Amino acid sequence: MDAETNLVPTFVVGKRTRQTTYELLLALQKRIVDARFQLTTDGFHFYERAVEDVFGGTVDFAQLIKLFGDIGQPGSERYSPSPIVEVISKIRDGRPDPDHICTSHVERQNLTMRMAMRRFTRLTNAFSKKLENLKAGCALHLAHYNFVRVHSSLRVTPAMAAGIATEIWPLSRLLLPTT
């Protein structure tokens, strides 16, 4: 997710595996045109090697690693996450700006997606039991998010802010086939 435009240039639905990590980064590489950019990920161990393999030192890469407390301790069985006890910022490649090493935008996008699409909420009738339905729901949500929804902080859609669209798309453009 681009922090300035709020654009989500790509996504991959899948388990957090080495293969999914590479799929995501390869899809991102196809959408970024000849520009060095800063990439910040969480501490997932497959990112370190995959970013080097896919981008080959052409990005400024950092990882933000959050350490949580109360993991596995008696009495910590609850639905809410454990408190964050430490945040470690690791520069992995290039010269990322320390002031922009942040995962908050993506975490907020995950919340927006969970609240707008109940497909991730178990024990509801909207929960996706089929992977195909989940992928379609995510694609529709993110297309709406990028091209239809005007963001209050931007006053335009993320696609317009990024310069890849010149107008707000009508919802029918997402739903009706083009000829």
User: What pLDDT, on a 0 to 100 scale, did the predictor assign at position 119?
Assistant: 82
Q: What residue type is 25 in one-letter code?
A: L
Which is more confident, 117 or 154? 154
Reported in sequence order, the residue ranges of the chain that DSSP labels E, i.e. its strands, are 38-41, 60-68, 84-93
- Rounded CA gap, 34 and 97, in Å? 19
Query: What is the model's pTM?
Result: 0.86
CB contact at 8 A, 64 and 40: yes
Provide the 8-state DSSP code for 119: G
Residue 76, pLDDT > 60, answer no
User: Per-residue pLDDT averaged across 105-113, rounded?
Assistant: 91
Tell me the angle at which helices 131-143 and 104-116 cross, rounded to the nearest 10 degrees. Answer: 110
Residue 122, pLDDT > 80, answer no
Residue 111, pLDDT > 70, answer yes
Residue in this structure with the two tokens 């990882």, named with its chain if needed: 63
- Rounded CA gap, 39 and 73, in Å? 34
CB contact at 8 A, 43 and 63: yes
Dig out the tokens for 33 from the structure.
């045109």
Residue closest to 142 by CA, chosen among 2, 45, 38, 15: 2
Give the CA angle between residues 65, 70, 76 to the nearest 5°.
135
